[in-house]
Structure 1
Amino acid sequence: MLEILAITTPIFLLIGTGYLAMGARLVNREQLQGVATFVLYFALPALVIRALTQNPLDQVLNTPYLLAYGLGSVAVFAFALMLTVGLQGKPLSEGALHALGMSASNSGFIGYPVAAMVLGVSPAAVIMALNFLIENLLIIPAALILAEAGRQSGRGIGSVARKTLLRLIRNPILAGLATGLLLAVTGTSLPGPLVQMIDMLANAAGPAALFVIGGTLFGLRVRGMLADVGQIVAGKLIFHPLAVLGLFLVMPQADPAMMAGALLFACAPMISVYPLLGHRYGMAGVSAAALMVATLAAFVTLSVAIWGMSQAGLLPSH
């Protein structure tokens, strides 16, 4: 167990550093947003481009992985909608935000740093790129379209979908995915200085992302929202990994390394912009509290998941 804590503790110490930096007023919200912008617009796209260009394309576009992780995420998304809208009678926009919180991992800011320490930088980057495809082209658009449809029920779903997709096209992660895929498909080699710049940006992604997560958590509170917060957190940290595991187990000849990576990413908390989206759809308090609780609880769930996978022989020996 000490070996597991040696992996997870530095990650959460980095998160704690960001939290303490905000608490000690060494940085403010505007400065933290600047670091987050750097990660989102430069470091993570560079990481995706490196993953797509430094690995064989057939390894990157791993169809069994996309099916298992994608279907597992969709299953949790659908379950959350049935639970919140169908059984609990919540509005569609609120149900869509619950579904998003349960099924979309923070792949770039937490999933990748954890997986990089456990599996290695190159496999973690490939899996992150695959997850970005699923999250940015499937889960997030579906949640936003449903949330908009619930909030603006008088407007056609087609108009809502078009506006959502236009907003997603400007997403820097998708720009990185498109650039990396284009370079990989055409076999284009970048000049040496440009490759070095991409490497430097990519290497900064993990630490900077964890620092931002810690700073974002400062000041968040859980007040009178335990039922909704508990439901979202349980869905994200327990049901999502179990659904992904179940799909991998029924997938013929599943790659153990890819399965381990999928579980690590599925065990990560929800996407970091979750509170921002929650604020837009009337769930500011619940979404912020859910992110805080899930991030703290992930220290335990990730440690348990890593221990379980090491016992099952899914992790590489160091």
Structure 2
Amino acid sequence: MLNILTITGPIYLVIALGFAATYRGLFSKLDGQVLGRFVLHFALPAMLFNTLTQRDFAEVMNPRYLIAYGVGSVFSFALGFGVWRVWRKKSLTQSSLVAMGVSSANSGYVGYPILLQLLGPAAGVGLALTVLVENLVTIPLALAMAESGETAHLSWRHTVLQSLKRMAKIPMMQAIVLGFAFSILGWHLPEVLSKTVNLFAASTAAIALFVNGGSLVGMRVLGLIQEVRWIAIGKLVVHPLAVGLMLMVVGPMEPSLKISAVLLAGMPMLGIYPLLAQRHGEEGFCAAALLVTTVASFFTVSLIVWAMGELPGWHV
């Protein structure tokens, strides 16, 4: 277990440092937002582009991974929505946001730095495929359903289309498409541009974790922990378990991709979760869920890393 803590420990120490620095006023919440925009618009896209262009398209585009992660995520989405809507009798909007919380992971800010320690450069492949599933399936679907709960005059098809259009403008998605294009065509950047991209890519992990920690400052859980604990269980237990079971169904896959799929599914929900819920007036509820899930993930992620190390066929 000590070996596991040497992998997960530094990740959560950087998150804690980001929290402490923001809490003590060394960095403001606004500073964190600026750093976050740098990661989203430059560092993460550079890392994804770098990873995809350095591999053959056939190696990167893995249908089995997409099916396993996609079906596992949709199952978690449906279960979260059903429990909240049918069993707990909550609104369509809140149920949709819960579904997004249990099926969409913080793959870039927390997942990638952990994978990087375990897998090295291969970590970017699983991240790219996961980002495709999240940005083309679970997040647009959740946002469309949440919108339809408040705007009955708009069809869900129209809302999904609008969500997909917004996703297409995200730099990470553009970097993935461009990276796939370079991979298919066998193109390479000139050396001066390649080194520039490498500089941005190398800055991803530490800044992303630091920003994630700072974003937790000011979040409150009082009065909500009884409810949000169920979201944490769905995200940290049900989602990776569903993806892991699907990996057994789809057939053989290289260990690095199996590790990527289960670990990324086991991450806390995406860092902008409360921001996406803000327009629906559910930001406090979602912020509490994010805080509880992020803290709990230190233990569950460490357990997942340990368990995978004990399974045959899961060693890189």
User: What range describes the TM-score normalised by the shorter chain of this pair?
Assistant: over 0.9
Q: Give the deviation of 1:161 after TM superposition.
A: 2.7
- What does residue 5 of structure 1 align with? 5
Q: Give the deviation of 1:314 after TM superposition.
A: 4.7
CA contact (8 A) 1:52 1:180 kept: yes
Residues 123-168 of structure 1, C-alpha deviations (whole Å, 9 max, x = no match): 2111000101101111111111111111111223333233222222
CA contact (8 A) 2:258 2:314 kept: no
Question: SS of the residue aligned with 2:149?
Answer: helix
- What does residue 57 of structure 2 align with? 57
Q: Report the Cα distance in structure 2 between the residues aligned to 1:197 and 1:165, rounded to whole angstroms.
A: 30
- What does residue 159 of structure 1 align with? 158
Question: SS of the residue aligned with 2:112?
Answer: helix
1:176 is the counterpart of 2:181: no
Q: Report the Cα distance in structure 1 between the residues aligned to 2:119 and 2:158, rounded to whole angstroms.
A: 42
Question: SS of the residue aligned with 2:253?
Answer: coil
- What does residue 71 of structure 1 align with? 71
Q: Which amino acid aligns with 2:228?
A: V
Q: Give the deviation of 1:297 after TM superposition.
A: 0.8
**Equivalences for 1:89-104 in 2 at 5 Å?**
89-104=89-104
Compare 265-274 and 181-190 and name the one that shifted more.
Answer: 181-190
Q: Report the Cα distance in structure 2 between the residues aligned to 1:47 and 1:7, rounded to whole angstroms.
A: 20
CA contact (8 A) 1:260 1:314 kept: no
Structure 1 stretches lacking a partner, 5+ long: none
- What does residue 113 of structure 1 align with? 113
Q: Which amino acid aligns with 2:83?
A: L
- Alignment TM-score, normalising by the size of structure 1: 0.96
Q: Report the Cα distance in structure 2 between the residues aligned to 1:23 and 1:38, rounded to whole angstroms.
A: 21
Q: Which amino acid aligns with 1:5?
A: L
CA contact (8 A) 1:118 1:315 kept: no
Q: Which amino acid aligns with 1:239?
A: V
- What does residue 187 of structure 2 align with? 188
- Change in 2 beyond 3 A, CA 1:20/1:314: farther
Q: Which amino acid aligns with 1:158?
A: R
Q: Report the Cα distance in structure 1 between the residues aligned to 2:239 and 2:35, rounded to whole angstroms.
A: 29
CA contact (8 A) 1:50 1:198 kept: yes
CA contact (8 A) 1:257 1:314 kept: no
CA contact (8 A) 2:32 2:214 kept: yes
- Change in 2 beyond 3 A, CA 1:308/1:175: same
Q: Report the Cα distance in structure 1 between the residues aligned to 2:157 and 2:260, rounded to whole angstroms.
A: 36
Q: Which amino acid aligns with 2:61?
A: L
Instruction: Tell me the percent identity.
Output: 39
1:272 is the counterpart of 2:271: yes
Q: Report the Cα distance in structure 2 between the residues aligned to 1:309 and 1:214, rounded to whole angstroms.
A: 26
**Equivalences for 1:217-296 in 2 at 5 Å?**
217-296=216-295
- What does residue 132 of structure 1 align with? 131
Q: Report the Cα distance in structure 1 between the residues aligned to 2:29 and 2:44, rounded to whole angstroms.
A: 21
- What does residue 44 of structure 2 align with? 44
Q: Report the Cα distance in structure 1 between the residues aligned to 2:61 and 2:84, rounded to whole angstroms.
A: 34
- What does residue 206 of structure 2 align with? 207
| Moved beyond 3 Å, runs of 4+ | 313-317
Q: Give the deviation of 1:250 after TM superposition.
A: 1.7
- Change in 2 beyond 3 A, CA 1:314/1:115: farther
- What does residue 300 of structure 1 align with? 299
Structure 2 stretches lacking a partner, 5+ long: none
Question: SS of the residue aligned with 1:151?
Answer: coil
- Alignment TM-score, normalising by the size of structure 2: 0.97
CA contact (8 A) 2:56 2:184 kept: no
- What does residue 34 of structure 1 align with? 34
Q: Report the Cα distance in structure 2 between the residues aligned to 1:276 and 1:135, rounded to whole angstroms.
A: 17
Q: Give the deviation of 1:315 after TM superposition.
A: 4.8
Residues 99-138 of structure 1, C-alpha deviations (whole Å, 9 max, x = no match): 0000001110011101111122x22111000101101111
Q: Report the Cα distance in structure 2 between the residues aligned to 1:186 and 1:55, rounded to whole angstroms.
A: 11
Question: Aligned residue pairs: how many?
Answer: 316
**How well do the aligned residues superpose, as a CA RMSD in angstroms?**
1.3
Q: Report the Cα distance in structure 2 between the residues aligned to 1:315 and 1:246, rounded to whole angstroms.
A: 14
- Change in 2 beyond 3 A, CA 1:298/1:186: same
Question: SS of the residue aligned with 2:203?
Answer: helix
- What does residue 80 of structure 2 align with? 80
